[in-house]
Amino acid sequence: MASHGPINGQLVVFLHGFPEFWWSWRHQLRALGDAGFLAVAPDLRGYGDSDKPDPRQGGYDIATLAEDIALLIKVLQSERGHAESAMVVAHDWGGAIAWALAAVHPQVVQRLVILNAPHPLAFRRSLWRHPSQLFKSWYMVMFQIPGLTERWIAKDPVTAMARSFLGAAGKRSAFARTDFAVYGERIARPGVAQAALAYYRSIPKFLALTDSLARPIACPVLTLWGRKDPALGDFLAPEAQHWCSGPFEVRYFADAGHWLQQEEPEAVNVELLEFLC
């Protein structure tokens, strides 16, 4: 887990996506920490330096992942003698976890910022309402095949990461070869690829959690969305409002793709500071 900022600052928890780790928030950690927040970015379950339970035993379903973050927030706040809620900023799979966290554990989420991550129920509905999204999600089907993607990553982790990031980027110039080396080293660690793919292999379970995920989210929500995301249609961003009872805003970035906080770090930081302050 990485952190930056004063120990008594307002807590902001950043949740990364696939196939990343805390480092994907490096630009935001510094900006918010320097602004007086205590900015914290954990490695999600199975990634980086976090615990890596055997995927064959479960533990990568959305409910369990949301419980991980709820407990993390409670522990961090308790250690500082603060109230248990925090600001949560999340991207991709971190965003899916954050939507569930705000619905099932509302007491720990004060404000929520989502980057290119649809509400799980909006995503489920899109698969039959928007045929284009079904086509965009082809890779999720490939990820269901045990061993296939793991072998592809293991063969050349740096190239695998380069193809993954550049293939979904709107601004390819935002990434350097050294970035792919960093991500490649982390995804190649024992057990990480298997754990990361277990998130996708748990999709049937979390899409069945209709009752808990449908609970209205009352905290203020800001959704930031790169329009050039090839994996997620931008029509998904406003659909989350159906499950939000509190203030809800969407901001689009015309030239950015899926990796919004890395493609448009300065603009994202401006939005975060305006919304969280």
Residues forming the active site: 92, 200, 258
Please name the helix (run of DSSP H) or strand (run of DSSP E) that holds residue 4, with its range, or none: strand 2-4
DSSP letters for 221-235: EEEEEETT-SSS-TT
Helical residues (DSSP H) of 90-207, grouped into ranges: 93-104, 120-129, 131-136, 138-142, 148-155, 157-167, 177-187, 192-201, 203-206
Q: Taking phi first (over 0 means left), then psi (-120 to 50 degrees means alpha), and beta for anything else, what does residue 97 get?
A: alpha
> Number of C-alpha atoms within 13 angstroms, CB side, residue 99?
31
Distance between CA 226 and CA 16 in Å, rounded? 16
- Which residues, in sequence order, are bridge partners of residue 40? 3, 13
Record the tokens describing residue 122, joined without a space.
Answer: 């909006």
Q: How many CB atoms lie within 10 A of CB 74?
A: 16
Record the tokens describing residue 165, joined without a space.
Answer: 């990031």
Q: Do residues 275 and 247 lie in contact, with contact meaning Cβ atoms separated by under 8 Å?
A: no
- Local structure of 85: helix, strand or coil: coil
Distance between CA 192 and CA 19 in Å, rounded? 9
DSSP symbol at 259:
-
Distance between CA 53 and CA 43 in Å, rounded? 14
The sign of the CA dihedral 151, 157, 159, 165 is: positive
